[in-house]
Structure 1
Amino acid sequence: MGKTPHREPATLPPFEHIYDQFQPLLYSTLKKYHIYRDREDILQVGRLALWEAYVNYDPRQGAFAAYATRYVRGRILNYLNRTHKQAMTVPFSAIRTEDEEQEVEWPDPASEELYQSCEWQELLAMVAQLLSPREQLIFQEHLLHDMSLSDLAAREQVSVHTVKTWKKRALKKIRRALSPTL
């Protein structure tokens, strides 16, 4: 608010043209991140981000299309992260019952633990199918059992750099596999 634009008036066409040109970006972002709920709210976040990118654009930052794409997608992802965290937070007042004498029933911790364990096992099985044997080794020993990379390198008789490469590849595959579900 109150920022003056960094751009010169002749640098970009009027915002109406930019808005029309970048509508496919907004919809492709929704599709890319599998957004089906609250589409209008998220589209509005994207439209505002496009306006901010337009106002704050500096030609020294490179092409406007690349700048606007990063700016809009970043704002949408920030909004999604913020709303997800808010949805996960339950205020104490929501837990209280209308009748203060009535006791709140909590779910059985053992059944919840078993449910999470089953979900975790499914996730581990899915991830293990995607990884090479070396990446599975990293996943099991380093990520799940906290073995240090240097200890793992010594045990496998390879350099630490090699083990770090295995880890990078494994994490890249895991992120790619989990991004639609997150």
Structure 2
Amino acid sequence: MDTEKNFEELAKRYSNMIYYHINKLNIRQNQDEYYQIGLIALWDASKTYDNSKGTFSTYLYSCLRGRLLTALNKQIKYQNDEELLEYEEMAITEDPMNEVIFEQMIYSYCDVLTPMQQKWLISYCFDHKTPLEIAASEQVTVASVKSWRRETIKKLRAYYELKT
């Protein structure tokens, strides 16, 4: 109970610093969520602080900024992945013409991919195979297939960014 009281005092004392970082990073949406992340960073900093290495506020400053940047980067990555999924879903509908366009789009991406990456993309998009199924059909490990997937997505993102 004493720890809770101490943390409440810390939270009151450093809430302005949390809001400072939220504003400094131009976080306009989900500010309450980011404030909670800041409180968690404050809690962690209070547990890991070593007073022989400097002041607590300096340590907290870097902890808060790092934790908020990490959360912000995760959110941006999640949004990018969601946008990519929405784009793919728009391309795949019941309209046969869209299926042809989707096939042409996938095959046009194959030009920038290695043969293994092409196998993953085609198996995933057209045959709807899981990494386990692709690994079994290609007689490789699941880790290899996941590596193909990871590298394919990197290349396609870079390719897409160049085109836009």
TM-score (norm 1): 0.46
- Per-residue CA deviations over 1:65-123 (Å, capped at 9, x if unaligned) read 110111011100111112112211248754133427351668xxxxxxxxxxxxxxxxx
Partner in structure 2 of residue 60 of structure 1: 52
* TM-aligned CA distance change 1:26 to 1:78, over 3 Å: same
Unpaired segments of 5 or more residues in structure 2? 103-164
SS at match of 1:103: helix
Residue 103 (structure 1) aligned with residue 98 (structure 2): yes
CA RMSD of aligned residues (A): 2.9
Q: What is the letter of the counterpart of residue 98 of structure 2?
A: E
Residue 37 (structure 1) aligned with residue 32 (structure 2): no
- Per-residue CA deviations over 1:125-173 (Å, capped at 9, x if unaligned) read xxxxxxxxxxxxxxxxxxxxxxxxxxxxxxxxxxxxxxxxxxxxxxxxx
Q: What is the letter of the counterpart of residue 8 of structure 2?
A: E
Matched ranges for 1:1-182 at <5 A = 14-90=6-82, 94=86, 95-96=88-89, 97-99=92-94, 101-103=96-98
Task: Tell me: higher relative CO, structure 1 or 2? Use CA pairs within 8 A at least 6 residues apart.
Answer: 1
Q: What is the letter of the counterpart of residue 52 of structure 1?
A: D
Identical residues among aligned pairs (%):
24
| In structure 1, distance between residues paired with 2:84 and 2:58 | 44
TM-score (norm 2): 0.50
**How many residue pairs end up in the alignment?**
96
SS at match of 1:89: helix
CA drift at 1:31: 1.5
Q: What is the letter of the counterpart of residue 74 of structure 1?
A: G
The structure with the greater share of residues assigned to helix is 2
| In structure 1, distance between residues paired with 2:85 and 2:70 | 27
| In structure 2, distance between residues paired with 1:61 and 1:76 | 22
CA drift at 1:32: 1.1
SS at match of 1:35: coil
| In structure 1, distance between residues paired with 2:54 and 2:9 | 19
Structure 1 runs (4+) deviating above 3 angstroms are 90-94
